[in-house]
């Protein structure tokens, strides 16, 4: 829960309140959907959810040594991560 709160740029207490209320703000919803989409793509590329999750948390050379989940805090960054996953999937990693 703490990692999710960090990636959504909210406190753990705020995330708990949002969970209790049953709704996120529009910005938080966008971020959650963005991360979910990337996790699904990474799991597809690497064969399972755990490998995909691990890849998203490890600094990547193709992103200048930045952790993909950190890189994906913006929609433009998420597109770059998505593009990198596509290149890896098709064997064009450079």
Compute the 3-state secondary structure of the chain and give helix, strand, coil in percent, each to the nearest 5: 70, 0, 25
Cβ proximity of 69 and 31 under 8 Å? no
Q: Classify 24 as helix, strand or coil.
A: coil
Q: Backbone phi, then psi, for 65, in 5-degree steps?
A: 85, 10
Q: Residue 23, exposed/middle/buried by CB under 10 A (0-12, 13-18, 19+)?
A: exposed
Q: Higher-confidence residue: 20 or 11?
A: 20
- The model's pLDDT over 35-68, given as tens digits with 9 standing for 90+, comes to 899 999 999 999 999 999 999 999 999 999 999 9
Give the mean pLDDT of 11-39: 85
């Amino acid at each position: 829960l703490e990692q999710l709160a960090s990636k959504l740029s909210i406190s753990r207490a705020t995330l708990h309140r949002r969970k209790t209320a049953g709704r996120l703000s529009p910005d938080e919803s966008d971020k959650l959907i963005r991360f979910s989409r990337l996790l699904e793509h990474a799991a597809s590329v690497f064969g399972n959810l755990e490998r995909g999750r691990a890849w998203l948390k490890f600094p990547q050379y193709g992103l200048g040594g930045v952790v993909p989940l950190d890189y994906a805090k913006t929609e433009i960054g998420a597109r770059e991560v998505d593009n990198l996953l596509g290149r890896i999937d098709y064997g064009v990693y450079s």
